[in-house]
Amino acid sequence: MFANRTDAGDRLAAELADRGIDADVVLGIPRGALPVARPVADALEADLDVVVARKLGAPSNPELAIGAVASDGSVWLNDDLVDRLGVSESYLEDVRRRESENAREKADRYRSGDAVPDLAGKRVVVVDDGVATGATAIACLRQVREAGAERVVLAVPVGAPDTVAALESEADAVIALLAPETFRAVGQFYREFGQVADEEAVAYLEGRGE
């Protein structure tokens, strides 16, 4: 159980340091990952930035993720679910285009117009506050790969065991402090797990978060 996201970040940073993980860049998945990613970036003496993906919702149930798309258009689809629901190619293309644009706009807001970091040849640690289905994490990891990162590590405080195992094929290493069989939701493992406001997330990016 973590007290809050900052506590989770401190503990994750200690684990990464113990494992000898080095990074040139730490990328948090907004908004909830920024309080976790800040202590990680500080401990690894790495730059902190964001990598953004948006869930692709099912036609009849937008809350049901049939995949995710990153701000560069990198996409992951749950093919089994897409087939089972009979989702059309036209729907997939429309939702992919729309959510990719939303992700780009969100990334631009967080960077305040600054350039996208050059990840070519870099050691990158991607941080989230936890993974349930892993849809957005997969899309983010694929974006980092496409950007030419030399080594990609996914680091999370907690995740569903099956998801953590599946993510190992998307990164060079996946580090999860907890992967309990009792997993139901990420928030289950935090005493405080409120929404992170955009202003608060940006403060963490600028090194002002507490």
153 beta partners: 125, 173
What does DSSP assign to residue 83?
Answer: H
118, with CB counted inside 10 A (0-12, 13-18, 19+), is exposed
**pLDDT range class, residue 100, cuts 50, 70, 90:** very high
Question: Residues 20, 31, 194, CA angle at the centre, nearest 5°?
Answer: 105
pLDDT digits (tens, 9 = 90+) for 122-169: 999 999 999 999 999 999 999 999 999 999 999 999 999 999 999 999
- Name the helix (H) or strand (E) containing 127: strand 123-127
pLDDT in tens, 128-137: 999 999 999 9
Burial of 181 (0-12, 13-18, 19+ CB in 10 A): exposed
In degrees and rounded to multiples of 5, residue 151 shows phi and psi of -145, 135
Distance CA 52, CA 56 (A): 13
Mean pLDDT (whole number) for 99-127: 89
Q: Which of 14-18, 41-45, 68-72, 91-95 has the lowest mean pLDDT?
A: 68-72
- Residue in this structure with the two tokens 């989770």, named with its chain if needed: 8
* Long-range CB contacts (within 8 A, 24+) of 110-114: 110/30, 110/50, 110/52, 110/198, 110/201, 110/202, 110/205, 111/49, 111/50, 112/202
DSSP of 23-81: -SEEEE-TTTTHHHHHHHHHHHT-EEEE--EEEEEETTEEEEEEEEEETTS-EEE-HHH
% of the chain residues with pLDDT over 70: 98
Kindly report the average pLDDT of the chain as a whole number: 93
Q: How many CA atoms lie within 13 A of 186 on its CB side?
A: 22
> With bands split at pLDDT 50, 70 and 90, how would you rate the model's confidence at 115?
confident
pLDDT in tens, 26-79: 999 988 999 999 999 999 999 999 999 999 999 989 889 999 999 988 899 999
Reported as a pLDDT band with limits 50, 70 and 90, residue 209 is: low
Nearest residue to 116 (alpha-carbon basis) of 9, 201, 27: 27
Please give the structure tokens belonging to residue 69.
């798309």
